[in-house]
Structure 1
Amino acid sequence: MEARLAALQGRVPPSRTSQPVHQTPDIRTQAQQAQDLLTRLTAEVAIDESWERGGQVTLQDYRLPDSDDSEDEEKAIQRVLQQLTEEAALDEASGFNIPAEPVLQAQAKACRAEPEAQATALRPTAEEEELPWCCICNEDATLRCAGCDGDLYCVRCFREGHDAFELKEHQTSAYRPPHAGQVH
């Protein structure tokens, strides 16, 4: 099989090739090879046993270096809560605070309650220039979807995109592009 594969690949069949130069022939007898193998295995077993003896885990290994043995569970909980409160205050002061989920739920309720007010809040500031075309096909936009972060759509793309994903609860408002001379 190897000879046929080598012939198909255009190589010399392995039966006709000489042994690679980088492999020196083993001139030891079988008894010497067996003895060397046993010696190597006993050395490996000795290494494994030395690791197993030192591997005993005790209760002291689970104690934190800065923990007090007399500290009970309530004190530990209070200490952790105090530490988390301090970290949250630092995050908020540095501006790296991640909003919690209740804030997202409040925004969702506000989205359902007053979609027109939300649509005006989502409009870009003077720094950001809003392009007056559909975010999908670049036709002139006629609708703004409050449920899609105020994205602009033409009627066709809005229907195709929202009907396909069953997003019928998204609130829309009419969009009129600003005139060229008008400042945002």
Structure 2
Amino acid sequence: MSCNSCSKSFSLLRQEKGCPGCGFSYCSKCLNHKVFLQKLNAEVKVCTKCKQQANKNDNEPTTIEPPDAYYRRIGIPTDCAMNKEVSSNTTDQLIYEKLKKLKEGNQENLTKVNNEDIIARLQKLKDDIPSTSTTELEFRLANLKGVPTSAVQSKPLLPGPDLRTEQEQADDLMKQYMAQSHIDTKYKEEFDVLVNDIETRLQKLKGTYTSGQKKPSVTENNEKSDDEEEIVKKIIHRAKEQTSVEENEVCDSGLEELPFCEICNEDAKMRCRGCKYLFCKRCFCEHKDDDDGCDSYDPYTAPKTS
């Protein structure tokens, strides 16, 4: 970066400073004009162009022009820049005049269009719309689907208000319930008839059906249920006998247990009352547990072998 007035580059000795008036960068030597600025309400140092602008006593607002060094830096001479600014102002004026003429012409065209033209245009648009009614469309749709017209007719989305009393609503609910139960019983009877018919056909095919055959009575069903209860009782009795036999076998096998400690295989001296295992004195102290009931013992002596 360099100064916009003297075009000298900025460095540690030549610091960059901004002009309070125009905002462009200058060195301290080029900012040597003191001027009172209204926007700052103070007297400050500004560049030469801001000084010249302040000396003018024009009351019209003016734009801040960039310094000549700025145009030189971007490669545009000062004369070309001025001519470009003048040409841009003239083009802006021409564009503004053209837009104004177009706006005035549109307003004139709009005033010429009257209500009759609008009505005629709307009528033309309406003529293009097909004049098929909703009833005809519903009839055609019902014919295509092969259903009555009532199934296709549009229904209201929201139900109307219920004007019945509480008693009437209760009566209607009872009627609906009775009708539903009647339908259920009717279908159940028909289903039973069909099932019986199928059963008779199967029996005829198997050759086990006779015309005088009757359905099992209630007494026969009760006898069957009694027989089943007796069978269950017998099964339970047999299971109890088997468990008793197994317990006896366990007791007999206990006589054949080895007289050694369960942990260290030394000679057993005591039997735990909780788990019924054999232990020596040292291993029983380690095995002792109050929560499991293994806190007491019975003295044990090994049986004599013949």
Q: TM-score, normalised by structure 1?
A: 0.34
Higher Cα Rg, which structure:
2
Q: TM-score, normalised by structure 2?
A: 0.23
- Bigger helix fraction: 2
